[in-house]
Amino acid sequence: MLPVNTSWSTDGQSPVRSEGLGLDGAALTSLWVAAWRADESERPDALFQDPYARTLAGPEGFELLEAARGLALIEAP
């Protein structure tokens, strides 16, 4: 699981914590947004192309994206 310094979790009960990345909330959010931009860029009907998003997100960003999709109150593409 992605190491993050936060108290939310995908099951809503057990906290997800780690000292592994040493990133704060703003840095983690930037990885998550980059992963979302990479996903959008790779869609056949993409609204935009961000050639740097996948590299910036790295595997950590995509783990955050998957965790966020599990928590979403609305359907995420």
pLDDT tens digits for range 1-48: 444 444 444 555 444 444 556 788 899 999 999 999 999 999 999 999
**Greatest Cα pair distance in the chain:** 38
Q: 50 in the Ramachandran plot: left (φ > 0), alpha (ψ -120 to 50) or beta? A: beta
Is the pTM for the entire model greater than 0.75? no
